[in-house]
C-alpha cells in the first residue's frame, strides 16, 4: 500500500514537473519572439471570402473602436474596407471592433506579449509613450509621403504622434473644447452668454434660481471634470504649458496659478453649477441631460457636436457655442483645450507590413471624404474639401468650425501630458472636489506628491 | 476510510487531466503574478526587479489600499452574515410551504443571469436624486422624510452601502437556489422518523434541517466570500470606484493600478496579496465549519 | 403558487404537516410575493427598456413606458449585434465548457473521496487554493501561454481557461457531496466484480446529479456573460460570443442603450426558456438523488 502510493507520488511529481516545464518554457520563450512575425490571429484566414485569386491570401487585422453599427463612423469604416477588399481580392481586412475601454485593455495585454494586431488604435502624446518605448510600432514617415497623404493632415497635428522624428500614428480626429449652451433656457432665465468666468458663475446662480440645472457633466468618467479644470488652469496660468513646466522642473503644482485654478473651479461647483449626483453620471448620462434640454450649458470637446445637433435640445438651432472665458481677467479665450484624437498605428512585427501600410494609406486618404458625407467631419484631423453649409451641416456645426479657425494654441488633456500614475491621482483628486470642498493648497499638495511618486 | 484500492495509473487517469489543465492555466499564471509583483513594470516596456518594494509601498504608503481592503471585507461580511442566512431562511420557507417550487426558485434566481450592465443601470435610476426621478428619494419625500434623502451613489459615506445592497439583492436568489437544493437533498424519511419522535415544524428544522444543511451552507458561505472579493463589474458600472476612491474595493484598485495607472508590477503585488488573503480565509472558513460539523454530528 | 394538485415527488411529509396554519401561511406567501416582484421586476424593466430611445432610458424614469415603441432596437440588435452568430458561439463555448468541467472535476472528486491514496487531501488543497483566484488577474500570463501554444483567436483559448477556472469550485462541491455517499455502495460493487470505472459511471455519477446540476448552473453563470477574456483572446468576428454583441453598442462617445437592452433580452431569452424547461427535470433529478443517497 505505502509502496504503491510512493510510486504514484513520484509519477505525479514527474508529470507535474513536466507540465511546469512545458508551461515554463512557454513563458520564457517570450523574450526572443520579438523578432519572429508574431501574429497568430492573422494566420487564421477567413474562408468565406470565396475568391480564387492566384495571389497569396492575406489577412490584415484591424483593431478599432467603432463597434456600433448604428454609428456613422462604423458605416464609414465598413464602406472604405469593403471597397478596398473589392479592389484587392487577395486581401481580407479582419475588423476587431471593440468598445474603447476594452480595446485599451486588450492592446496593453497584447503589447506585453508582443502580439500587437496589424493596425491598432492609440491615444496621443504621453499615453502613446510606453508603446513607443517598447518599440512596438512601425514608423509611418515613408507611407504618409505616398499619394500626398501627409498634406491632407492639418498643420502640426501629427506632432502629437511623432517621437524621435518618426510619425507613429495617424489621428482620426482633432477637437477643441467649447461650451455648448441652450438658447431657450438662457432666454428663460434672462441671462446672456458670459464673457468672463466670473460672469459664468453669475449665470450659473441665476439659472439655478430659476430651477434650471446650469451645467451638465458626466463626472463618473472623471476625465470630463479634469478637462474642464484644465481649461481653467489654461487661463489662470496665462497661457499653455503649465504641465510641461512641471515636467521640466520649472514649476511645481503648488504654483499660485494652479491654486487659483482650483479656487475658481471650486467656486463654480459651490455655486451649484452641476446636476445632483454628478459623480454617478457617466459621460452619456451627463451629455443626455443637455441633449434633452434639462441643463443649460455643457462643456465638452467639439466631437459632441454631431450628437447635440440631432438631439431634442439642438432642434431649430436652439444650441449655440461659446469659447471658454477668461478667469480673473487672465488667459486668452482663443487658446483652447486641444484634443487630438485616437490614432491608427501599425505593428512593427506585422506579417504583412507592406500591405498593411498600403491599406492604411488608402483608408486615411478616403477618411475625410467619407466622414464628410456621413456628416461627421466636424473635428477631424484632416482638411476637407467641400462646402459644409451646402452639405447641410447645421448652424451650430458651422459655428464650431469657425471657432477652429480662431484657435491660437492651447493645452492637451492631463492624461495626454502626464504619466498614467500621476494622471490617475489627478483624476481622483479633481473628482473629489465635486463631492467635498477642499483647500486649494491641499489639492496642489496631493498633485505634487503624486507627481513625485510617479516621476 | 475510503475503500477503493487502485493502482497509480488509475489515479493518474482520474486526476491528471484536470490537474494538468488547472496547474497550467491557473497555478502557473499565479506564480508568474507573484513574480511580476516584485517588478517595477508598466506592463509593456522594460522591467526592473525591486524585491518587496511594492509590498512595502502597499502596506505603508498607499492611501487607497487599506480602505479598499476594508470595504472588500465589509461586502464579504454582509454577504456571509446577512445574505446567506436570509437565503437559507427563504429556502426553508419555500421547501416547507410551496408544493411546486420550481417557478419561485427560478424567478428568484433571475437577476443573476442578467448582465451587470442592466442591473447597474436599473439601480442607478432607483438611487438617482429625486430631481432626476430617483425612486427611493421620491418615496422618502412622499412620506415626508425629506431629511432621509441622500445622493445615494455620490456621498462618500453612503455610496459603498448602496452598492453593497445591490450586490446582496442580485445574488440572493443564487444562494436561495443552492440552499434549496441542499434542503431537497435531505432524505424525507429522516423527517418522518423525527415526526414519530414528536419533532415537527420548526423543531424539525432546528434539529434536522440545520445540521444536515451545514455542508451546503458552507459552500454558500465560501461562494459568497469569493464573490465579494472578486466583485468588480457591479462597482465599475455603478460608481467606477468613485467619488474619489470612496467605493473602490481591492479588485477595482488592482485593476486601476495594473491597467489605468500602468503599474502592472504593483497591481500584481495586490493580486498576490489577494490570493494570500483568500487562502487564509479558506482555511479559517474550513476550520470554523469543521468545528460546527463536529458539534452537530 | 396555488396549484391544488400535490405532486407526490416533492416531500409529501413536509407539505402535509403544515396544512392548517393559514395565517402564517398567508404572511409567508406575501413575503414570497414581495420577493418575487423585486426579483422579477428587472426582467420586466429590461423588456420596457429595450423598447425605449436613448433619451428616455437616460432620463431615468423608473416606471415610464416609451412614447413610441422602438422595435428597431431589436432589428439593430439582430443585425448589428450579429445575434445568431454570437449566440451559436456562446452556446458552443458554454456547453463544451460545462461538459468539460463536469467530466474532469467529477473524476477528480471521485478520486479524492473514494480512492485510498496518500495524496488525496494534498490534491484537494491545491484545488482549494485556486478557487479564489480572479480570472482577470491571469490575463497577461495566459496571453503569453496561448501565444506560444498557438491557440490565440480560437474557441479553445476560451474553453480551456473557463474549464480550468471552474474546476476548483466544482471539485469542492462534488467532493463535498461524494464524501457523504455511503461506502457500502462500492463494497457491494466490488463483491460483484465491478471495475473502478463502472462504479464511477453507473453508481456514483447517477447519484450525484443534484450537485452536478449546481455545478452546471454555477459554471453557466460565470461563463455566459464573461467578456474580458473573450475580448482579449478572440479577434475574429466569426468566433465572437454574446457579450461582444452587448458591448458592440458602446462607442467612444456614445452608447446605444436601447439596442443593448434588446440584445440582452435576446441573449437572456434562450437561457430563461431552457432553464424553465429544465427546472422540472432538475428538481426531479435532485429528488431522485436524495432518495437514492
User: Binning pLDDT at 50, 70 and 90, where does residue A33 land?
Assistant: very low
Residues of chain C with C-beta less than 8 angstroms from the C-beta of B117: 246, 260, 264
Chain A: closest CA distance from residue B16 (Å): 8
Per-residue confidence band for A46, with pLDDT thresholds at 50, 70 and 90? very low
Closest to C134 (Cβ–Cβ): which among B11, B21, B230? B230
pLDDT 10s digits, B36-66: 999 998 888 888 899 899 999 999 988 899 9
Where are chain A's structural domains?
A: 2-174+340-391, 175-339+400-454
Chain A: list its partners (3+ Cβ pairs within 8 Å).
Answer: B, C
Closest CB from B25, B121, B125 relative to C164: B25
Set of chain C residues whose Cβ sits within 8 Å of the Cβ of B90: 31, 35
Question: In this complex, do B4 and C43 lie within 8 Å of one another by their Cβ atoms?
Answer: no
**Chain B contact for C183, CB < 8 A?**
yes
In whole angstroms, give the CA distance from residue A393 to residue A374: 10
State chain A's mean pLDDT as an integer.
86
β-bridge mates for residue A343, sequence order: A122, A171
Rg for chain C (alpha carbons), in Å? 24
* A9–C231 C-beta distance less than 8 A: no
User: Who among C114, C272, C280 is closest to B102 (CB)?
Assistant: C280
Range C166-200 burial, b when 16+ CB lie within 10 A, else e: bbbbbbbbbbbbbeebeeebbeebeeeebebeebb
Q: Beta partners for C115?
A: B4
User: How large is the average pLDDT for residues A260-264?
Assistant: 96
- What per-residue confidence (pLDDT) applies to C55? 79
pLDDT of residue A72: 82
Which residues in chain A have their CB less than 8 angstroms from residue B246's CB?
435
In chain A, pLDDT over 70 holds for what percent of residues? 88
CA distance A113 to chain C (A): 6
Q: Say whether residue B124 is in contact with chain A using an 8 A CB cutoff.
A: yes
For residue A343, the chain C residues in CB contact (below 8 A) are: none
| Alpha helices, H only, A292-418 | 305-309, 353-373, 395-406, 414-417
Coil/strand/helix, residue C115: strand
Interface test with B, best of C7, C43, C125, C137 (most B CBs within 10 A): C137
What's residue C182's pLDDT? 84
Question: What confidence score (pLDDT) does residue C241 get?
Answer: 92
User: Chain C neighbours among B 212-271 (CB < 8 Å)?
Assistant: 215, 218-219, 222-223, 225-226, 229-230, 232, 251, 254-255, 264, 268, 271
Q: Class assignment of domain A2-174+340-391?
A: alpha beta
- Closest residue in A to B7 (Cα) is A4
Please name the helix (run of DSSP H) or strand (run of DSSP E) that holds residue A121, with its range, or none.
strand A119-122
The reply to whether residue A5 touches residue C119, judged by beta carbons under 8 angstroms, is yes
Which pLDDT value is given to residue C58?
A: 75
Give the span between the Cα atoms of C147 and C165, in whole angstroms.
19
Report which of A404, A420, A341, A360 is spatially closest to residue A127, judged by C-alpha positions.
A420
**Higher per-residue confidence, B241 vs A442:** A442
Which of B219, B231, B230 minimizes the C-alpha distance to B88? Answer: B219
Does a cis peptide bond (omega within 30 degrees of 0) precede residue C218? no
> Mind listing the pLDDT tens digit for each residue in A210-240?
999 999 999 999 999 999 999 999 999 999 9
Is A25 in the B-facing interface, judged by CB distances under 8 Å?
Answer: no
Q: Is C138 on the interface with B (CB under 8 A)?
A: yes
Q: Are strands A319-322 and A336-340 parallel, antiparallel or unpaired?
A: unpaired
Between positions 393 and 432 of A, the ones with CB within 8 A of B are 419-421, 423-424, 428-429, 431-432
Preferred mutation among C140, C230, C231, C274 to probe B, highest tally of B CBs within 10 A: C140
Cβ contacts of A9 on chain C, cutoff 8 Å: 118-119
What pLDDT is attached to residue A25? 38
pLDDT at B296: 64
Other C-beta atoms within 10 Å of C39: how many? 22
Residue B297 pLDDT grade (very low, low, confident, very high; cuts 50, 70, 90): low
Cβ atoms of B235 and B163 closer than 8 Å: yes
Query: To probe the interface with A, which of C252, C258, C262, C263 has the most A CB atoms within 10 Å?
Result: C252
pLDDT tens digit at each of 293 positions of chain C = 333 333 334 444 444 445 556 788 888 889 899 988 888 888 888 888 888 888 787 776 666 778 888 888 888 888 776 888 999 999 999 999 999 999 999 999 999 988 888 888 888 888 887 777 777 778 889 999 999 999 999 999 999 999 999 998 899 889 888 888 888 877 888 888 878 888 888 888 888 887 888 888 888 888 888 888 999 999 998 999 988 888 888 877 778 888 888 888 888 888 777 777 776 666 555 544 443 33
Helix (H, G, I), strand (E, B) or coil at C7: coil
CB–CB contact C243 B115 (8 Å):
yes
Is there a contact between B129 and A432 if contact means CB atoms under 8 Å apart? no
CB contact under 8 A, A23 and B28: yes
- Asked if A207 and A214 touch (Cβ cutoff 8 Å), the reply is yes
Strands (E), A256-352: 295-301, 319-322, 336-340, 343-346
Burial of A139 (0-12, 13-18, 19+ CB in 10 A): middle
Q: Which residues pair with A62 in a beta bridge?
A: A95, A119
The answer to whether domain A2-174+340-391 and domain A175-339+400-454 are alike in fold is yes
Chain C residue numbers with beta carbons less than 8 Å from the beta carbon of B93 are 28, 31-32
Q: How far is CA B254 from CA A415, B32, B78, in A?
A: 19, 16, 22
C contacts of A23 (beta carbons < 8 Å): 145
**pLDDT surpassing 50 at residue A36:** no
Contact between A292 and C58 using a beta-carbon 8 Å cutoff? yes
Q: Contacts of residue B42 in chain A, CB cutoff 8 Å?
A: 130, 420
Cα–Cα dist B183/A289, whole Å: 50
- Asked if A8's CB is within 8 angstroms of C118's CB, the reply is yes
Distance of CA B5 to the CA centre of its chain: 38
Alpha-carbon torsion angle B79, B80, B82, B85, nearest 10:
130
The confidence score (pLDDT) of residue B164 equals 94
**How far is it, in rounded angstroms, from Cα B188 to Cα C290?**
8
In CATH, what is the architecture of A175-339+400-454?
A: 3-Layer(aba) Sandwich (3.40)
Burial class (CB in 10 A: 0-12, 13-18, 19+), B200: middle
Residue range A255-259: mean pLDDT, rounded? 95
Give tens-digit pLDDT for B127-167: 888 777 778 888 888 888 888 888 888 888 899 999 999 99
List chain B residues with CB under 8 Å of C287. 184
Q: Residues 6 or more apart from B188 whose CB is under 8 A from it?
A: C11, C12, C13, C14, C290, C291
Contacts of B211 in chain C (CB under 8 A): none
Cα–Cα distance measured from residue A204 to residue A196, given in angstroms and rounded to the nearest whole number: 12
Pairing, β A58-64 against β A91-97: parallel
The reported pLDDT for the residue numbered C279 is 66
- In this complex, is the C-beta atom of C28 within 8 Å of any C-beta atom belonging to chain B? yes
Q: How far is the CA of A249 from the CAs of A252, A255, A413, A429, in angstroms?
A: 7, 12, 19, 22
Interstrand relation of A162-163 and A166-167 (parallel, antiparallel or unpaired): antiparallel
User: Which residues on neighbouring strands pair with residue A301, listed in sequence order?
Assistant: A177
> Which ipTM did the prediction report?
0.85
- B125: left (phi > 0), else alpha (psi -120 to 50), else beta? alpha
* CB-closest option in C118, C140, C248 to A68: C248
Give per-residue pLDDT as tens, B79-135. 999 999 999 999 999 988 887 787 888 888 888 877 787 788 888 888 888 777 778
Q: Which residue has the higher pLDDT, B229 or A340?
A: A340
**Contacts with B46 from chain A: Cβ below 8 Å:** 133-134
Contact C237, C52 (CB under 8 A): no
Give the residue-averaged pLDDT of B172-193. Answer: 83
- Of A25, A364, A440, the residue nearest A161 (C-alpha): A364
Residue in chain B closest to A115 (alpha carbons) equals B44
Q: Are the beta carbons of B244 and A435 separated by less than 8 Å?
A: yes
Provide mean pLDDT across the span A104-124.
Answer: 92
pLDDT for position A407: 92
Residue B142's pLDDT is 86
Distance between A181 CA and the closest CA of chain B, angstroms: 20
Chain A CA closest to residue C148 = A26
B33 touches chain A (CB under 8 A): no
Bridge partners (DSSP) of residue A93 are A60
pLDDT at res. C269: 82
User: Between B and C, how many CB-CB pairs are < 8 A?
Assistant: 298
The region of weakest confidence among A445-449, B277-281, C116-120, C128-132 is C128-132
pLDDT surpasses 70 at A187: yes
Nearest-by-Cβ selection for B131 from A8, A222, A276: A276
Asked if B68 contacts B253 with a C-beta cutoff of 8 angstroms, the reply is yes
pLDDT at A2 over 50: no
Structural Rg of chain B based on CA atoms: 23
Query: How far A136 CA lies from chain B's nearest CA (Å)?
Result: 9
Write out chain A residues lying below 8 Å of B262, CB-based.
Answer: 108, 130, 419-421
Q: What are phi and psi of A396, to 5 degrees?
A: -65, -45
Kindly report the backbone phi and psi dihedral angles of residue A60, in degrees, each rounded to the nearest multiple of 5, phi listed first.
Answer: -110, 125
**Is the Cβ pair C252, A95 closer than 8 Å?**
no
**CA-based nearest residue in chain A for residue B163:** A280
Q: Is the Cβ pair B114, C127 closer than 8 Å?
A: no
Amino acid at each position: 500500500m505505502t509502496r504503491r502510493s510512493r510510486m504514484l507520488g513520484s509519477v505525479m511529481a514527474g508529470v507535474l514537473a513536466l507540465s511546469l516545464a512545458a508551461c515554463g518554457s512557454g513563458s520564457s520563450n517570450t523574450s526572443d519572439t520579438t523578432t519572429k512575425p508574431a501574429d497568430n490571429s492573422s494566420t487564421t484566414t477567413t474562408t468565406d471570402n470565396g475568391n480564387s485569386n492566384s495571389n497569396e491570401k492575406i489577412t490584415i487585422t484591424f483593431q478599432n473602436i467603432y463597434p456600433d453599427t448604428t454609428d456613422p463612423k462604423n458605416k464609414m469604416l465598413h464602406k472604405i474596407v469593403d471597397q478596398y477588399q473589392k479592389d484587392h481580392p487577395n486581401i481580407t481586412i479582419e475588423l476587431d471592433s471593440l468598445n474603447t475601454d476594452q480595446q485599451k485593455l486588450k492592446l496593453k495585454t497584447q503589447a506585453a506579449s508582443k502580439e500587437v494586431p496589424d493596425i491598432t488604435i492609440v491615444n496621443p502624446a504621453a499615453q502613446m509613450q510606453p508603446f513607443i518605448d517598447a518599440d512596438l510600432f512601425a514608423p509611418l514617415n515613408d507611407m504618409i509621403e505616398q499619394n500626398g497623404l501627409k498634406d491632407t493632415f492639418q498643420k502640426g497635428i501629427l506632432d502629437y504622434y511623432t517621437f524621435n522624428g518618426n510619425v507613429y500614428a495617424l489621428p482620426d480626429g482633432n477637437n477643441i473644447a467649447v461650451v455648448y449652451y441652450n438658447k431657450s433656457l438662457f432666454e428663460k432665465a434672462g441671462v446672456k452668454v458670459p464673457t468672463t468666468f466670473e460672469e459664468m458663475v453669475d449665470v450659473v446662480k441665476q439659472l439655478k434660481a430659476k430651477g434650471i440645472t446650469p451645467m451638465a457633466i458626466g463626472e463618473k468618467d472623471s476625465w470630463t471634470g479634469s478637462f474642464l479644470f484644465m481649461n481653467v488652469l489654461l487661463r489662470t496660468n496665462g497661457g499653455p504649458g503649465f504641465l510641461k513646466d512641471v515636467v521640466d522642473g520649472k514649476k511645481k503644482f503648488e504654483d499660485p496659478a494652479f491654486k487659483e485654478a482650483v479656487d475658481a473651479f471650486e467656486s463654480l461647483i459651490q455655486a451649484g453649477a452641476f446636476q445632483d449626483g454628478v459623480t454617478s453620471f457617466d459621460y452619456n448620462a451627463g451629455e443626455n441631460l443637455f441633449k434633452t434640454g434639462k441643463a443649460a450649458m455643457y462643456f465638452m470637446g467639439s466631437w459632441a457636436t454631431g450628437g447635440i445637433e440631432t438631439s431634442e435640445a439642438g432642434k431649430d438651432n436652439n444650441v449655440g457655442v461659446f469659447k471658454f472665458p477668461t478667469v480673473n481677467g487672465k488667459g486668452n479665450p482663443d487658446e483652447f483645450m486641444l484634443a487630438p484624437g485616437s490614432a491608427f498605428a501599425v505593428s512593427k512585427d506585422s506579417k504583412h507590413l507592406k500591405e498593411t501600410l498600403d491599406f492604411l494609406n488608402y483608408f486615411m486618404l478616403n477618411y475625410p471624404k467619407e466622414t464628410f458625407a456621413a456628416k461627421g467631419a466636424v473635428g477631424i484631423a484632416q482638411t476637407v474639401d467641400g462646402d459644409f453649409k451646402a452639405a447641410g451641416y447645421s448652424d451650430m456645426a458651422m459655428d464650431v468650425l469657425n471657432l477652429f479657425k480662431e484657435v491660437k494654441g492651447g493645452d492637451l488633456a492631463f492624461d495626454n501630458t502626464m504619466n498614467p500614475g500621476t494622471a490617475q491621482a489627478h483624476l481622483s483628486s479633481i473628482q473629489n472636489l465635486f463631492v467635498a470642498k477642499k483647500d486649494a493648497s491641499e489639492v496642489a499638495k496631493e498633485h505634487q506628491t503624486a507627481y513625485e511618486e510617479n516621476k | 476510510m475510503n475503500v477503493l484500492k487502485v493502482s497509480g495509473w488509475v489515479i493518474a487517469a482520474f486526476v491528471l487531466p484536470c490537474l494538468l489543465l488547472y496547474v497550467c492555466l491557473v497555478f502557473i499564471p499565479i506564480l508568474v503574478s507573484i513574480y511580476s509583483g516584485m517588478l517595477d513594470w508598466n506592463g509593456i516596456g522594460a522591467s526592473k526587479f525591486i524585491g518587496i518594494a511594492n509590498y512595502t509601498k502597499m502596506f505603508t504608503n498607499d492611501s487607497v489600499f487599506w480602505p479598499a481592503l476594508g470595504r472588500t471585507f465589509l461586502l464579504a461580511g454582509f454577504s456571509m452574515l446577512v445574505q446567506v442566512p436570509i437565503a437559507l431562511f427563504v429556502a426553508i420557507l419555500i421547501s416547507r410551504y410551496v408544493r411546486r417550487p420550481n417557478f419561485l426558485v427560478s424567478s428568484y434566481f433571475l437577476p443573476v443571469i442578467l448582465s451587470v450592465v442592466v442591473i447597474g443601470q436599473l439601480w442607478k435610476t432607483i438611487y438617482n436624486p429625486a430631481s432626476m426621478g430617483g425612486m427611493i428619494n421620491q418615496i422618502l419625500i412622499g412620506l415626508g422624510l425629506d431629511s432621509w434623502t441622500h445622493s445615494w451613489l455620490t456621498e462618500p459615506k453612503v455610496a459603498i452601502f448602496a452598492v453593497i445592497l445591490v450586490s446582496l439583492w442580485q445574488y440572493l436568489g443564487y444562494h436561495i437556489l443552492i440552499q434549496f437544493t441542499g434542503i431537497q437533498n435531505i432524505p424525507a424519511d429522516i423527517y418522518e422518523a423525527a415526526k414519530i419522535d414528536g419533532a415537527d415544524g420548526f423543531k424539525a428544522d432546528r434539529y434536522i434541517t440545520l445540521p444536515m444543511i451545514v455542508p451546503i451552507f458552507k459552500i454558500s458561505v465560501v461562494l459568497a466570500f469569493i464573490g465579494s472579493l472578486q466583485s468588480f463589474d457591479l462597482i465599475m458600472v455603478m460608481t467606477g470606484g468613485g467619488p474619489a476612491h470612496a467605493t473602490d474595493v481591492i479588485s477595482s484598485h488592482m485593476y486601476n493600478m495594473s491597467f489605468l495607472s500602468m503599474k502592472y508590477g504593483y497591481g500584481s503585488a495586490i493580486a498576490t496579496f489577494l490570493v494570500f488573503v483568500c487562502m487564509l480565509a479558506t482555511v479559517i472558513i474550513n476550520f470554523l465549519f469543521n468545528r460546527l460539523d463536529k458539534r452537530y454530528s | 403558487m396555488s396549484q391544488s394538485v400535490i405532486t407526490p415527488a416533492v416531500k409529501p411529509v413536509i407539505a402535509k404537516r403544515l396544512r392548517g396554519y393559514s395565517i402564517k401561511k398567508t404572511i409567508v406567501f406575501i413575503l414570497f410575493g414581495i420577493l418575487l416582484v423585486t426579483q422579477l421586476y428587472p426582467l420586466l424593466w429590461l423588456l420596457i427598456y429595450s423598447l425605449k430611445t436613448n433619451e428616455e432610458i437616460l432620463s431615468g424614469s423608473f416606471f415610464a413606458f416609451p412614447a413610441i415603441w422602438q422595435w428597431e432596437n431589436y432589428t439593430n440588435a439582430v443585425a448589428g449585434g450579429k445575434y445568431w452568430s454570437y449566440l451559436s458561439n456562446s452556446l458552443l463555448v458554454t456547453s463544451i465548457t460545462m461538459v468539460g468541467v463536469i467530466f474532469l472535476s467529477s473524476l477528480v472528486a471521485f478520486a479524492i473521496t473514494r480512492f485510498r491514496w496518500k495524496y488525496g487531501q494534498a490534491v484537494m488543497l491545491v484545488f482549494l487554493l485556486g478557487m479564489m483566484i480572479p480570472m482577470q488577474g491571469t490575463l497577461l500570463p495566459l496571453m503569453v501561454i496561448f501565444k506560444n501554444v498557438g491557440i490565440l483567436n480560437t474557441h479553445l483559448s476560451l474553453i480551456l481557461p473557463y474549464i480550468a477556472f471552474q474546476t476548483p469550485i466544482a471539485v469542492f462541491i462534488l467532493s463535498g457531496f461524494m464524501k457523504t455517499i455511503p461506502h457500502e455502495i462500492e463494497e457491494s460493487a466490488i463483491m460483484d466484480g465491478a471495475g473502478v470505472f463502472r462504479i464511477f459511471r453507473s453508481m456514483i455519477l447517477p447519484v450525484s446529479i443534484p450537485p452536478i446540476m449546481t455545478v452546471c448552473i454555477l459554471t453557466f453563470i460565470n461563463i455566459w456573460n464573461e467578456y474580458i477574456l473573450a475580448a482579449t483572446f478572440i479577434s475574429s468576428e466569426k468566433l465572437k460570443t454574446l457579450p461582444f454583441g452587448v458591448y458592440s453598442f458602446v462607442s467612444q462617445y456614445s452608447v446605444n442603450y436601447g439596442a443593448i437592452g434588446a440584445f440582452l433580452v435576446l441573449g437572456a431569452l434562450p437561457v430563461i426558456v431552457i432553464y424553465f424547461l429544465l427546472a422540472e427535470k432538475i428538481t426531479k433529478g435532485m429528488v431522485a438523488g436524495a432518495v437514492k443517497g
